[in-house]
Structure 1
Amino acid sequence: MCGICCTVSLCASVDTNLHQDNKNLRRRGPDRSQQLIRSDPALNYSCIFSGHVLHLRGELTPQPIHDDNGNVFLWNGEVFGGIEVLSAANDTSVMFQHLTSCDNEHDLLSVFSKVQGPWAFIYYQSKNHSLWFGRDFFGRRSLLWKCSDNLKEVLSLTSVAESPADTDDWQEVPASGIFRCDLSTCALLKSISLTWFPWVSELELSGETVHHEEHKWILNTLPKCVTQLNVGSDRLLVPVSPLNTNVPESLPEQKKVSLEELKLLISEEYKKNIQSFVNVLSEAVLKRVLNLPRLHESSSPAHERKANVAILFSGGIDSMILAALADRHVPPEEPIDLLNVAFMMRATNQQKAPLKKCSHRKIPGSPLTGNNSNPDALPADPFNVPDRMTGRSGLEELKALSLTRIWNFVEINVTLGELKQMRQQYISQLVYPLNTVLDDSIGCAVWFASRGIGTLRTDEELKPYTSTSKVVLTGIGADEQLGGYSRHRVRFNTLGYKGLLEELSMELGRISSRNLGRDDRVIGDHGKEARFPFLDENVVSFLNSLPISEKVDLTLPRGLGEKLILRMTAVSLGLSSSSVLPKRAMQFGSRIAKMENSNEKASDKCNRLQTDLID
C-alpha cells in the first residue's frame, strides 16, 4: 500500500518542493519516500511524481518506479489474481513490466482488465506523452483529483489531500474506468482534456454500448480545468459476473425460524451453496493474510509474538466469519488482533451507580444470555457499548472454535475530548471530500479502530496494547451484496424481490463513492492497509451467480433473513450466537452516533468536519 501523488504543470518552470511536506502521504507510506520529475521543454509540460511506500510484499521497491525509456509508475494496490505474482516478487515491479511491454492502449487496458485486487495507479507513458490513471472497479483504493487556474499545478492527483488548507476542490476520481491525459495536446491548448475508458460487461464488449447516464454523471463531477472528456474506443472488462436477476414467481409467507431450524435448513437445502461460498471466501482471506513480512519467529515465546493480521471486530457475523477463516490461514503460532472500538456514553439520570476500575471487573458473558439479554441496554461502564458486549461474546466463540490460537481482543476506548482532538488533527482531512454525518461517524470509528491503540485484558487486568499489524481486514461489502441494511427490507416489503435486486445492484455500484475511498484513506493514515475479502472478485462473482432467494430471505425475521447465506455459513463454520445477531451499524454499535448530536440525520452535512477543516 502506498501514498501516490502527481502534479501536472503546463509551463516551463516547476516547483520541485511541491510534495516535500505532504505529511498525510508519508503517514500512508512510512517505509520509503521519493520524488521524480518528468518534463518536455519542447512541448512545455512537466510532471512531478511522489511515492510513499508501505512495504508488504516481496523486496522493498521504492516509488515512483521508472525505466531508461522515461516511463514512470505509481501503484497503490495489490495483485491477488489475474496476473501472476510469485510469492517472493513485488507486484509493483510486475505491473510495471506488463505496462511497459504494451504497444497500444488496447494492450494496456487488457492488463487492468485482468488484475484482481484493489488498486489505484498513475502511469506516465513517455513515448506518446500520456498520463494514465484510475481506480479498480469497486474503488477499493483512494485517488483524488483537482484542478487549478495556476498552470504550474493545473492538474493534481493524490491518494489523500495534503493539509486542511489544501482540501479545497478535491474530488474522488470516479471508479468508472481509466482515464488518459494527452499531455502534448494539453500543453498546446493550455487546458486539460481527458479520454475515458469505461468498464463494460462481456455482453457489452462486443457492442457499441456507451453508458450515457454514467457519462453524464462523470461530466458533472469533473474538475473545472477539464475542458473535454472523450470516450475511448476501447473498453475495460468488468472483473465480476453479472448479477443474477431471476426472482421467485411468488413471495413465500412470513415465517419464523429458530437457530435449530436454521441448522436443519442448511443440511437439507443449501449445503452445496454454503460449501462453495466457504471455499471462495476462504481463498479470498488466504490471499490477504499470507505473503506478509512476519514480525516474529515461530520459536519466540508466546507472549513476545506479534500479530501481523488485524480485523475490525464487532462480534457481528461479518467480522466473526473473517476471524474464523483467518484462523485457518494465519500461522497457528501467530496472534490475531481483534480491534474493538467503543465511544464513551454520556451519563443519564438513570445511570447513578459509581464506576469501578475496569481492571477489577469480571468479563461479561454472552450478551445473548443471562443478565445481558439486551445488548442495547445502557450499562454502568461508559464503554460497555453494544459492539463491546457482542465483541466479548464473539471472542468466547472464537476461543472455543480455536483452542490454541492467541486472540488479542483490543479494547479501544475513545473519550469525547480525544475524538474532537483527532478529528481536527487528522480525520477531517482524511474523510474529505466526503462530508456527511455518516461519513464523520464511520470515518472516526474506523480511524480509531484501525489505529489499534487500546488495552488487552489478561487475568482480569488491563494492559496497554498497540497493534503491530500492517494488514486490517474489514467486512465491508457483505451488507451491500446480501441485503444487510434496514433499507433493503423496506424495499423488499414495498417492491418484492425485483425492488430488492435493484437496490443491491445500486449498492455495489456506488460503494466506491460512499465507502471505500474514505475507508482506504482513514485506515491508510496509520501506515496500514485495508483489505476487503467480501469484495474479492471471485466472491462477488459467486454471489452474483446465485438467485436472490438463495442469498436473502426477508420473509424471515430480522437477525435471520438478511444475509441468510452468511448466517448459514457461520453455523457451518461452528459459530453459534453470532450467526443470529441482527445487523447493527458501526456508528450505533460503537455509540459514536450518540456521543455528540443524536438529532442529526446521517445524510446531513457534518458541521464538525467543516469546522475542523477551516480551523
Structure 2
Amino acid sequence: MCGIALVLSGGGVVVAPSAAAAAAGIDPSDEGKGVTVDELKEALRRRGPDSLGCERLRVCADGRILGSYGCDCGSGDGVDVGVTELCFIGATLQLRGAEPISQPMVAQSGSVLVYNGEIYGGIHVPDDQNDTQSLLSSLESCCSCDCHALVRDEACGCCRSVAKSVPQMLSTIKGPWALIYWQAGRLENNVVWPRCIREKKPLASTVKGVESAADNDFSEPTNMSYWEELPCGMYSIQLKGLEKSGMCMKEACIFEVRKHDWTNSSLDELIQWKRKSIVPTVDDLTSHKNSVEDYRSSQSFRNSTEAYRVLTALRESVKLRTNLNRLFQDDLTKLKDDELAPIAILFSGGLDSMILAALLDQCLDSKWTIDLLNVSFDGQLAPDRISALAGLKELQRISPIRRWRLVEIDTALTNLKGESEHVMSLIHPSNTYMDLNIGIALWLAAGGDGWVDGSLCNMQDGSRYKYKSTSRVLLVGSGADEQCAGYGRHRTKYRLGGWVSLDEEMRLDVQRIWKRNMGRDDRCISDHGKEARFPFLDENVIKTLLEIPLWEMAKLDEPVGKGDKKILREVANLLGLKEAALQPKRAIQFGSRIARESNRKNFGSNRAANQASAGSVEIHHHAR
C-alpha cells in the first residue's frame, strides 16, 4: 500500500461537523497534540519507498485559490490570516503501470489526487497504466456541481450534465482503496473527497495515522484522541461561502463535512452482510444427513457444489491480486535471479494460508519461487513452525515443480526493544497486549528476514542459509475466520443460541473487522514497503459466501478441526490438501508463541496472565 495524508492548517479553518459526527459525540475543538508534515512524510516514506511528493493549496475565505506549491518543509508556518492551507502528501509503492509515477497527481484542471490501493474492476486500468492515472482520468470526467451532494443518480439540474458524480464513480470500484481528491470547480464549489475523515483530524494511513478496510457508520460514541481508526465511507469537505452559511465570521473558510451513500446497491448488500438462509428446515437437515451417510458408506470425500463455487471465487481473487503487470515484470527480469519470489504468503501451515499457497501456485508462472514467511518465538517448537514444516511437505507433494521457500523468522521477545516501541506506534490507537503481540508477529513476518533450510526447500547446496525476502506483495488470510465461523466464540454462540445467534456474531465480526484488525495489520505490514493483499475479502468472495446456507458453511456440533470453517475444509480437499483440511484454528499470537512469552514477561506467568485477561489489558494501564 502507498501512504497518503491530508493536513488542513492555518488560522482560517472552521469545520462544520456532519450530523453523523455530531451524533458520535465528536468535539471539533479537540486539537490533541500536533505532528509536523516532516514527521508525517518520514512515516509515509516507509509505506511508499518508490517516491514521495507533496502539494500545497492555499484557499482564501471567499473560495479563491491562491495557487499550488510543492512542499519540502513543514506546513502551516507563515500562512496569512484568513487563508487555509491544504497539504497533500503521497508516498508511492508502485506495482502497476509501464512507467514510474509520483504522487500527488495534479490534473490540468487543478484537481489533486493521492491514492492508496488497487483497482480490480469497475474502472478500466490498461496494462501499461497505473491505477492512480486511470482513477484520476475517471474522476476528472465527474460533474463538480453541488447538487450531486444532495441527490444520487439524477442529472445535474444546474448544468444539465449527465456525467457521474464522484460518489457514483467511486461506488463502481472493486478492490481495496483509499483516496484524497481535491475536485477543482467553480469558486465556492471546490470539494475535497477523502474516503475517511473526522473533523479537524488529518487523513493519514500511516504509523501515526488512520486507515480502514471495511465499511461502517459512526455508530458508537467514542472518546476522541488525536489519531483515530476511522470507519470507511465516502466523505466530502466542501468550501462554503460565508453569506450562504449563515455564520458571521470574518476571514474564515467554512468547510462543511458530509457523508455520502454508496450508489451501488450490490455494494450496499455486502456492507449489510445479510445471509438469506440461516436456519435449516427439516428437509435441509435430512438432505445433509443423507450426504453424511453417503460419505461414510463410500469412504470418499463428497465435496458440495458450494465448495466448488467458493474455490472458483477464491482462485479468481488470488489471480487478480497476483497478476504481474508490465512494470513489475520488467523490474523482476532485470534481477535475473531464478530463485526470485515476487509474491510471498504470511504462512502458518494452517488451513487459510495453505489454501492461499495452493491457489497462488495455480495462478503464478511456475518459473517463480514462492516465499512462505513463518515467524516463531520458540524456534522449531512453536505450533506454527511445526505446521509450517508439515505444510511445506504437502505443498511440495501437490506441486513438485514449484520452488517453495520456507523462510524461518526466529526471534525472542527479550531481544526486541526499539522494535516493540515502533510497532506500538504502528498499531495505535489499538493498545492492548493482544494487539501488540499480533502487531509484532506481523511486522517481523512482513520483514521477511530469516533463515532457509536448503535441504528441506531443495535450494542452493542444501545448507541452511540467511535470507531476506524481497517480495513486495504479501498474501494474508484475514477474513476467513470471520466469514466461515472459525473462532471459538462462534462455537459458543451456536451452542447457546443456535443458528441465529451464530449468524449475528459472524455479522458483528465482519462489520467491525476494519476496527479490530485491518488498519492495525495493514500498517504493520506496509511499514516494510510491502503491500498486504486479502483474497478472502474480495467482493465476489464475500458475495459467494453469503449465498451459501449457514449450515453448509459450518457445523459447530462437530469437533474442532472438522465442523468449524467446514466450507473451507472442503475447498482444501478439492485442492488436494488432505492434511491441511484437518488443521485446527490457531491465532498467530498463540501459534508463534509470542503470547506465552509476553505473558511471562509482563505478568510473570501464563496463569497470572489468564487471571488478568491479559489479551484485553491496555498496555498503559498495566505497568510493572
* TM category, shorter: 0.7 to 0.9
Cα deviation for residue 169 of structure 1 reads: 1.7
Correspondence list, 1:25-104, <5 A? 25-43=44-62, 44-58=83-97, 59-104=99-144
Is the counterpart of residue 395 in structure 1 residue 392 in structure 2? Answer: yes
- Aligned residue number for residue 432 of structure 1: 428
- Aligned residue number for residue 438 of structure 2: 442
Match of 1:178 among 204, 216, 234: 234
- Aligned residue number for residue 513 of structure 2: 511
Secondary structure of the corresponding residue to residue 85 of structure 2: strand
Cα deviation for residue 243 of structure 1 reads: 2.4
Paired residues of 1:339 and 1:449 also in contact (CA < 8 A)? yes
CA shift in 2, pair 1:118/1:603, >3 Å: same
Secondary structure of the corresponding residue to residue 108 of structure 2: coil
Paired residues of 2:271 and 2:511 also in contact (CA < 8 A)? no
CA shift in 2, pair 1:146/1:280, >3 Å: closer
Paired residues of 1:129 and 1:182 also in contact (CA < 8 A)? yes
> CA offsets, 1:2-59, max 9 Å, x none?
100111124379x997336632210000000111011123533220011100010003
CA shift in 2, pair 1:264/1:527, >3 Å: farther
C-alpha separation between the residues in 2 aligned to 1:200 and 1:399? 46
- Aligned residue number for residue 4 of structure 2: 4
Is the counterpart of residue 417 in structure 1 residue 419 in structure 2? Answer: no
Correspondence list, 1:73-472, <5 A? 73-104=113-144, 105=148, 106=152, 107-127=165-185, 128-134=189-195, 154-162=200-208, 169-175=226-232, 177-184=233-240, 193-199=256-262, 202=265, 242-249=274-281, 261=295, 268=302, 270-292=303-325, 293-294=328-329, 295-297=331-333, 300=336, 302=338, 305-344=339-378, 382-424=379-421, 426-459=422-455, 461-472=463-474
| 2:279 maps to amino acid | V
Paired residues of 2:554 and 2:565 also in contact (CA < 8 A)? yes
C-alpha separation between the residues in 2 aligned to 1:278 and 1:161? 35
Moved more, 292-301 or 563-572: 292-301
C-alpha separation between the residues in 2 aligned to 1:506 and 1:116? 23
Match of 2:492 among 490, 493, 498: 490
- Aligned residue number for residue 616 of structure 2: 604
C-alpha separation between the residues in 2 aligned to 1:69 and 1:520? 33
CA shift in 2, pair 1:545/1:427, >3 Å: same
Cα deviation for residue 261 of structure 1 reads: 4.8
Paired residues of 2:201 and 2:227 also in contact (CA < 8 A)? no
C-alpha separation between the residues in 2 aligned to 1:162 and 1:124? 23
Cα deviation for residue 237 of structure 1 reads: 7.5
> CA offsets, 1:357-408, max 9 Å, x none?
xxxxxxxxxxxxxxxxxxxxxxxxx442000000000000000111111111
> CA offsets, 1:320-374, max 9 Å, x none?
0000000011110100000000013xxxxxxxxxxxxxxxxxxxxxxxxxxxxxx
Paired residues of 1:282 and 1:325 also in contact (CA < 8 A)? yes
| 1:27 maps to amino acid | R
TM-score (norm 1): 0.78
Aligned length: 519
| 2:195 maps to amino acid | G
CA shift in 2, pair 1:440/1:198, >3 Å: farther
C-alpha separation between the residues in 2 aligned to 1:37 and 1:16? 17
Gaps of 5+ in 2: 14-33, 63-82, 153-164, 210-223, 243-248, 456-461, 600-605
C-alpha separation between the residues in 2 aligned to 1:183 and 1:472? 40
Cα deviation for residue 244 of structure 1 reads: 2.5
TM-score (norm 2): 0.77
| 2:332 maps to amino acid | H
Gaps of 5+ in 1: 136-144, 148-153, 206-235, 345-381
> CA offsets, 1:397-454, max 9 Å, x none?
0001111111110000021233333111x20111001112221111111111111100
Paired residues of 1:245 and 1:501 also in contact (CA < 8 A)? no
> CA offsets, 1:173-232, max 9 Å, x none?
212x211112346997667541112458839x9xxxxxxxxxxxxxxxxxxxxxxxxxxx
Paired residues of 1:441 and 1:587 also in contact (CA < 8 A)? yes
Paired residues of 2:423 and 2:439 also in contact (CA < 8 A)? yes
CA shift in 2, pair 1:525/1:301, >3 Å: closer
CA shift in 2, pair 1:74/1:508, >3 Å: same
C-alpha separation between the residues in 1 aligned to 2:622 and 2:178? 27
Secondary structure of the corresponding residue to residue 171 of structure 1: coil
